[in-house]
Amino acid sequence: MKNVVSSSLKLSLNRLQQALGYEFQSQTLLATALSHRSVGKDNNERLEFLGDALLSTIIAEELFNRFPEGQEGDMSRVRASLVKGETLAEIAREKNIGECLRLGEGELKTGGFRRSSILADAVEAIIGAIYLEAGLEVCRKIVLFWFADMLDSIELEESGKDSKTRLQEYMQEHKQDLPVYRVVNRLGEAHSPKFEVSCEVHSGGKKTSAISTSKRKAEKLAAKQMLLELGL
C-alpha cells in the first residue's frame, strides 16, 4: 500500500508541476511549500511570508508598466483584487494544488485541502520556493503566466467594473435582453483544463467567444470582445 500511495503522490506532483509551468530541482523545497503548519515544524509559513511580498511586488510592477497613465488608487484597488486570498485559492483549485498538500490529521478530517485560506497560503509558499530556487526573473515569469488572463481582462479606466458588468448595464440601459454565455468547448488535460465560452446578444445577432483557464475568466474575455463589437 505504501508504494501505491507514494506512486500516486509522485504522479500528482508531476501533474502539479506541469500545471505550474515550473519543475522543481529540489523536491524537498516543493514538499515544504505544500506543508501546512498542522504537520509540524517543517511547514510553509516562512515561504508563504516571502511569497506574499514577492507576489505583491510582481503584480504592482506589472500594473505600473501596463498602465502608464494609471492612477495610484486604481492600481492599488486592482492589485488588491488580484492578490487577495480568494483569487489565489482559485488559482490553487485550477492547478489542483489541494490534492498535493501535506496536512495534519485534524486538517485532513475537516477537509483542509479544500479550504481557501490554506490553498491561498500554499500558492504564496510556492512562489517563495520558486524564487529561492530559480531567482526573481523566473519567479516573475511564472507568476505572470498564472495571472495572464486576469491581467489581460483588466480595464483600469472603468472604476472597477469588469466587462461582464459593463455589457450587462449597456443591455439594460437599451432595454435589450441580457447577454447569454455558454461553454462551447473544453480543452486541455483533465488536470489543467481550458474553457471556450461564447457570449451572444440578440441585438444584431452578434456572438463572440474566448478561451481561458476558468469559465468566469472566459466569460469576461468574451464580454470584452462583445463590447468591442458594439463599439464600446
* Dihedral, CA of residue 71, residue 74, residue 78 and residue 84, to nearest 10: 110
Q: Where are the beta strands (DSSP E) in the chain?
A: 180-189, 192-201, 206-212
C-alpha cell recorded at residue 142: 511564472
Q: Return d(Cα 213, Cα 146) in angstroms, integer.
A: 9
Q: At what angle do helices 136-146 and 116-134 cross, to 10 degrees?
A: 150
Q: Apex CA 197: angle with CA 124 and CA 74, to 5°?
A: 50
Residue 30 pairs with which residues in a beta bridge? none
Determine the Cα–Cα distance for residues 188 and 192; give it in Å rounded to an integer: 6
Name the catalytic one among 48, 52, 90, 121: 52
52 flagged as catalytic: yes
Question: Distance between CA 91 and CA 215 in Å, rounded?
Answer: 13
Q: Which three cell numbers stand for residue 105?
A: 490529521
Residue 195's beta-bridge partner residues? Answer: 186, 212
Per annotation, catalytic residue among 62, 90, 124, 219: 124
> Which residues, 6 or more positions from 94, have their beta carbon under 8 angstroms from its beta carbon?
19, 192, 213, 214
The residue among 36, 73, 89, 61 whose CA lies nearest residue 156 is 73
Catalytic positions, written as ranges: 52, 124
